[in-house]
Structure 1
Amino acid sequence: MNTKQTFHVIGFLLLLFALFSGSWFLWLFGGIFFFMPALQGWWLSSMSKWVKLDWTYDQHRVMPGTAVHVTVRLHNHSWLPLPATWIRFSLPEHVSVEGADEVKISNQRTVVRLRFDLPMRQSAARNLTLIPHKRGTVWLNEAASESLPLFGDERSDLTLPLSFSLLVYPLPLPLPAFVLDETEPDGARLSRQRQQDDVTFQRGVRPYLPGDRMKHVHWKATAKTGSLETRLFEHTAQPNWRIVGHILPSYEPMQQRHNDVVNERTISCLAALSVLCRKKSYGYELFLTLRQRGREHYHLPAGGGKNHHLHVMTQLAQMHHYVTSPLAHLLRRLEDSPAREAILLVTPRLDDETHASIERLLRRGHHVALLDVSEEQAVLRRFEAMRPTRQRRVMS
């Protein structure tokens, strides 16, 4: 029997004695035991209008091990105080919390409790520090509030909505020392596909043509000649890479092996390559052996710059529950490219089928480099391009 039922039984007995004795005191006293549970129910149904939770934080995207400072504010807009009010929420197990009253691990979750003592129509704030240690998305959409009950041991639970989303990027893996230009086929000469105007170096002016940007108009030369003149820039060529990431299935039943640790190392290596290309201002396109949106492989078109780097890091951070595809099928697709490409393969498993695919790529004139992430330290392996031998024609 809970407290509400106990109050109803006591109130019923008092009203029964009041009916036979005619005592107004018993009528009032018995009615109080029915009024208190009704008041408790009304208070719980109306608490969401008067109690609000505010959650602010200083960072949205961080690396593992970065401290995120959070401020939790609880607002009481009612005319009743809220003593001994607890706010409870849970985070992933890998997130450590500092500054809370209670922190415990339960069911692979970090359960956090904060205590507030709110007077009427007042607010209170608490400061927390969250430190995520793994990549992924940390999010919250609600927190539970436990207030001091009006009677007995019945808790006053309330669900408070909040909005919190923290993106944790993968930690880049240390890479061996290598230069991307050494295996870039068009790194030392211009190609029509990769030549661009470098606005840093100007080599002259030319007459204005429809479609030229107005910011490239040379106004001094225009004033001298009396006609619009456009700046003429030097051409430059930037390396463009094809990075292939080999993601293994999370669990291989035939071999009874889990590949989560190996896949995390592959993702960290891909993140390190993205950081390197961002620093060197190299363009690249990304291929992953993952099925996504009905496609056999994941493909991110070629690009460069900050936005492209953030998009790649976001995709790597949100990768979970892998549905993989064979690496040989992806390499077979790259063989059909008419242009000679620079391919960088990141794989934790180099088998005979992969060797055969690399040999076919080399015979077609592609340049292939491989980063082996089967161990803790990535190892670079280079493959020399095969030159086709000319066959002599014999005249009979």
Structure 2
Amino acid sequence: MNARSMEAGFGVGMATAEKGPQGGITLQPAGALWTRPALLLLAAMAVFASWYGQQPILAMTLLLLSFAVLCRLWSRHCLVRLFCGRTLERRRAFPGEEISMEISLRNGKWLALPWVRLENPIPGELRSSAEGAVSSSGRQDAVEVSLFLPGRNRARWTYRMLCRRRGFYPLGNLRVTSGDIFGLYTASLEFPAAETVLVYPRLLPLAKLPLPALQMLGDEKTERRICTDPTRPFGIRDHIPSDGLRHIHWKASARGQGLKRKIFEPTTTKKIALFFDVESFGSGEAFRAEAFELGISTVATVAFHAGKSEAQPGLYANTRSADTGRPIAVPPSGSRSQLVEILESLAKATPRASGSLDTLLSAAARTLPSGSCFVLVTGSSADIPQATLADLKARGYRITMVPVEGKTQPPSGATGDAVRISEASR
């Protein structure tokens, strides 16, 4: 499975191409002699030279003024009817994959551009080694290209972005700079081309994640029907007060003595709620970056294989998403786009915590049915709220704890299965 096939399967589109400019043209003189006050001073000198009959000074000042005005007009109009755009092969990828990006620049007028410089913002994590140069404007995140562009002509060039690590990477607007042939004035213009690239978490081999919760993805024997399908009744039984009145079989109750309740077949769809505790991986200097990324890869791997096994995975994380700053909450679902939504949410996960795991579990339990499986991926066994887990287990939820680089055995008083994930699982 790669990001290209996932985009084809779930309809994730590509970026579009050429657009007009955003905002006005910014004109910058090359030196103090070509600024507006200096030109006004030259004009005053020309007037005085003409008044006093100083022909050499008059000729020199008029020549400089004509030269400056011509270059200024050329620079101001060089970016008129200029169109620039960025086209991405795709916006999603896994670590190690490449994304092709094409930049197009079209000159829609007859006036040629003697030189044009284009700055293309690319985050360092997506830049290949050949694109490591810093732009002349000093931007560390911009890749620069310079060329000559004749009138009524178009230029195209292609970059290969290497996706090194998981993350949410915005691509900023394109900035085009040009000017007159002598370089007295430079004109700059920004073109709206803001896009985002998402790099999914790395998927680990399932054999290296011996999670007890993954037993739910195969055949499993149980004496208790933890989830039933109300659309598939297969019998009746005596009604008890705790059943409520919703599923009473009224016709059978009228024929017999006492109330009868419908019995439904157990559902074939299992819900697996994945919980990722960002707070347990530390903060500041104590933050464990490698363990954090390994935990995200563990969550992505379980979600991927759960979806392939026709289970319904969901994701809850007490992080602050890179784009919205909100926690992640993706309820379990069997939709075709569920896996893409989970992987995109994990790509946007940041080390900034938005709350405690206890609060996250309590909020999710109010919406998930009894019998759902909770998989808790944390940075340490000591951070797992045992009282909350005991309450969830008593209410019929299955609990699996996954401490990343934690203890091999469950902590004292733990409820549910536990397994340690270490760097060896990569």
Same fold (TM over 0.5): yes
* Residue 116 of structure 1: aligned partner: 147
Does the residue aligned with 2:52 lie in a helix, a strand or coil?
helix
Contact 1:185/1:341 (CA < 8 Å) preserved in 2? no
Counterparts of 2:361 and 2:267 in 1: how far apart (Å)?
A: 30
The answer to whether the aligner puts 1:326 opposite 2:356 as a matched pair is yes
The answer to whether the aligner puts 1:240 opposite 2:295 as a matched pair is no
Which of 275, 296, 299 lines up with 1:270 in the alignment?
A: 299
Which of 307, 310, 315 lines up with 1:281 in the alignment?
A: 310
* Residue 20 of structure 1: aligned partner: 52
Does the residue aligned with 1:323 lie in a helix, a strand or coil?
coil
Does the residue aligned with 1:146 lie in a helix, a strand or coil?
strand
Contact 1:136/1:169 (CA < 8 Å) preserved in 2? yes
How far did residue 280 of structure 1 move? 1.4
How far did residue 172 of structure 1 move? 2.4
* Residue 379 of structure 2: aligned partner: 348
The answer to whether the aligner puts 1:34 opposite 2:65 as a matched pair is yes
Contact 1:98/1:128 (CA < 8 Å) preserved in 2? no
Contact 1:185/1:342 (CA < 8 Å) preserved in 2? no
* Residue 309 of structure 1: aligned partner: 339
How far did residue 99 of structure 1 move? 6.2
Counterparts of 2:204 and 2:53 in 1: how far apart (Å)?
A: 85
Q: Which runs of 5+ in 1 are unaligned?
A: 199-233, 387-396
Contact 2:213/2:400 (CA < 8 Å) preserved in 1? no
How far did residue 53 of structure 1 move? 0.9
Contact 1:243/1:345 (CA < 8 Å) preserved in 2? yes
> Deviation digits for residues 129-180 of structure 1, max 9, x if unmatched?
1112222333334222232434454433332332433222222244413564
Contact 2:318/2:354 (CA < 8 Å) preserved in 1? yes
Does the residue aligned with 1:59 lie in a helix, a strand or coil?
coil
The answer to whether the aligner puts 1:176 opposite 2:209 as a matched pair is yes
How far did residue 103 of structure 1 move? 2.2
1:97-136 matches, cutoff 5 A: 97=128, 103-104=133-134, 109-136=140-167
Contact 1:48/1:160 (CA < 8 Å) preserved in 2? no
Counterparts of 1:286 and 1:311 in 2: how far apart (Å)?
A: 9
Counterparts of 2:68 and 2:220 in 1: how far apart (Å)?
A: 79
How far did residue 74 of structure 1 move? 1.3
> What amino acid sits opposite 1:122 in the alignment?
N
Q: Which runs of 5+ in 2 are unaligned?
A: 1-30, 233-264, 418-426
Contact 2:280/2:379 (CA < 8 Å) preserved in 1? no
Does the residue aligned with 1:268 lie in a helix, a strand or coil?
helix
> What amino acid sits opposite 1:182 in the alignment?
Q
> Deviation digits for residues 54-104 of structure 1, max 9, x if unmatched?
21121121112211111111111222221231111322221213665x723
Does the residue aligned with 1:21 lie in a helix, a strand or coil?
coil
Counterparts of 2:313 and 2:388 in 1: how far apart (Å)?
A: 21
Moved more, 161-170 or 178-187: 178-187
Larger RCO: 1 or 2 (CA < 8 Å, sep 6+) = 2
* Residue 261 of structure 2: aligned partner: none
> What amino acid sits opposite 2:109 in the alignment?
S
How far did residue 351 of structure 1 move? 0.9
Contact 2:75/2:179 (CA < 8 Å) preserved in 1? no
The answer to whether the aligner puts 1:4 opposite 2:37 as a matched pair is no
How far did residue 381 of structure 1 move? 6.8
Counterparts of 2:197 and 2:118 in 1: how far apart (Å)?
A: 20
Counterparts of 2:125 and 2:177 in 1: how far apart (Å)?
A: 25
How far did residue 113 of structure 1 move? 0.6
> What amino acid sits opposite 1:137 in the alignment?
F
Counterparts of 2:138 and 2:61 in 1: how far apart (Å)?
A: 45
Does the residue aligned with 1:167 lie in a helix, a strand or coil?
strand
The answer to whether the aligner puts 1:145 opposite 2:176 as a matched pair is yes
TM-score (norm 1): 0.71
| Residues 32 and 162 of structure 1, relative CA distance in 2, 3 Å threshold | farther
* Residue 226 of structure 1: aligned partner: none
Contact 1:281/1:305 (CA < 8 Å) preserved in 2? no
| Residues 98 and 129 of structure 1, relative CA distance in 2, 3 Å threshold | farther
Moved more, 276-285 or 351-360: 351-360
Counterparts of 1:364 and 1:287 in 2: how far apart (Å)?
A: 19
Does the residue aligned with 1:263 lie in a helix, a strand or coil?
helix
* Residue 330 of structure 2: aligned partner: 300
Contact 2:117/2:176 (CA < 8 Å) preserved in 1? yes
| Residues 251 and 15 of structure 1, relative CA distance in 2, 3 Å threshold | farther
How far did residue 275 of structure 1 move? 1.2
Moved more, 36-45 or 87-96: 36-45
How far did residue 47 of structure 1 move? 4.0
